[in-house]
A and B are shown apart, each in its own frame.
Chain A
Amino acid sequence: MADLALFGALARIGDDRLVLGHRTSEWCGHGPILEEDIALSNIALDLIGQANHVLTYAGATEGAGRDQDALAYFRDAADYRNALLCELPNGDFGVTIVRHFLYGVFSVLQWDALSKSTDETLAGIAAKSVKEARYHVRHAGEWVIRLGDGTAESHRRAQDAVDALWAYTGELFVQPADESALVAAGITADVSLLHATWQSQVASVLHRATLTVPASGWMQGGGRTGLHTEHLGHLLAEMQIVARSHPGAKW
């Protein structure tokens, strides 16, 4: 039976990981050192793997015959529900790592909450994903400290990254109004309740990294309702070109 509210919630969860995983995969072959190239590829694989599970399930709940590839390759930007943070360009290694850290801490909290979902399929995906996300935070967190407390240049680049990305973190914790019934039924988690924990965990690592937590200010948003930055259109144009050039083809 079609459950459009659940479909919408799953799209938000899955699209985050798909778009961030895609961005991460752009590093493959271009990392600062071989070991890190391999590490970033692992993270990209985890994220796209999570998206694959969530979007498969989303397609099933929608009941319109769309599978994970139909959702990934044949939706336009306005139908994507990812947070803006995930679609921003990679920037330098500092921006890439700081984004992984900021998003990763959120992701662990969200998966952890979803692992207690009353929806068994979602709980199962979350239980597996939370382990992956914990490693992403460990990896990115150590790098944030290395960069923040490394050289003068790395400190400057890391602080610039934190400052530039900060305005995109608020959106992660705005609970969409159309999910209230799902939250009430214990199916999805209220992300607004995760914000305080996120702030303290992030502040603790930034402090160890000798970086400054930005003052609170205006937070960007719109991704959760399909209002994106200019970047997502380009990302999708590239991602979808082959699939859309051959509609109906098998790969």
Chain B
Amino acid sequence: MTQSTDRPWPVWEVFTQGKDGEPHQHTGSVHATDAEHALQNARDAYARRNEGVSLWVVPSAAITASTPEDMGPFFDPANDKVYRHPLFYKVPKGVKVF
């Protein structure tokens, strides 16, 4: 009787910011029925040990991810663009802070 209306709650992805100034990182997921609910569930499940100063929750369904098949075309071209990385450039000896 209750079976038919007892639908699974949607999944939300949880991102935690460990310290002020750090980026938010994916920590896990929770089930919740709306955004405030997801925020509270994320707080209770993933910030029990003072793990963060800020939380994001995003409906899992809203995330589009690249596929393993994309790996070649997406990421290989960056392999030979060494000029994008700061260590490509020579800095005169003695310059410590750049």
Q: Contacts of B17 on A, CB cut-off 8 Å? A: none
Q: Is B48's CB under 8 angstroms from A35's CB? A: no
Q: Is A33's CB under 8 angstroms from B9's CB? A: yes
**How long is the Cα–Cα vector from A146 to B36 in the complex, in angstroms?**
12
Q: Is B45's CB under 8 angstroms from A38's CB? A: yes
Interface of A is mostly: helix
Q: Is B40's CB under 8 angstroms from A142's CB? A: yes
In the assembled complex, how far is the CB of residue A34 from the closest CB belonging to chain B, in whole angstroms? Answer: 8
**How long is the Cα–Cα vector from A35 to B43 in the complex, in angstroms?**
10
Q: Contacts of B31 on A, CB cut-off 8 Å? A: 33-35
Nearest residue, chain B, Cβ from A41: B44
Interface residues of A, CB < 8 Å — how many? 12
- Is B30 part of the binding interface, using a Cβ–Cβ cutoff of 8 Å? yes
Interface flags for B4-38 (1: CB within 8 Å of A; 0: not) read 01000100000000000000000000111100110
* B69-86 contacts to A (CB < 8 Å): none
- Is A42 part of the binding interface, using a Cβ–Cβ cutoff of 8 Å? yes
Q: Is A35's CB under 8 angstroms from B36's CB? A: no
Q: Contacts of B37 on A, CB cut-off 8 Å? A: 142, 146
Interface flags for B29-65 (1: CB within 8 Å of A; 0: not) read 0111100110011011100100000000000000000
A38 with B44, Cβ < 8 A, contacts A33-B9, A33-B31 known: yes
Residues of chain B at the chain A interface (Cβ within 8 Å)? 5, 9, 30-33, 36-37, 40-41, 43-45, 48
A-B contact pairs, 7 of them (CB 8 A): A38-B41, A38-B45, A38-B48, A39-B41, A135-B43, A138-B40, A142-B40
Q: Which 10 A/B pairs are nearest by Cβ-Cβ distance? A: A35-B41, A39-B44, A38-B44, A42-B44, A38-B45, A35-B30, A139-B40, A35-B31, A142-B36, A35-B45
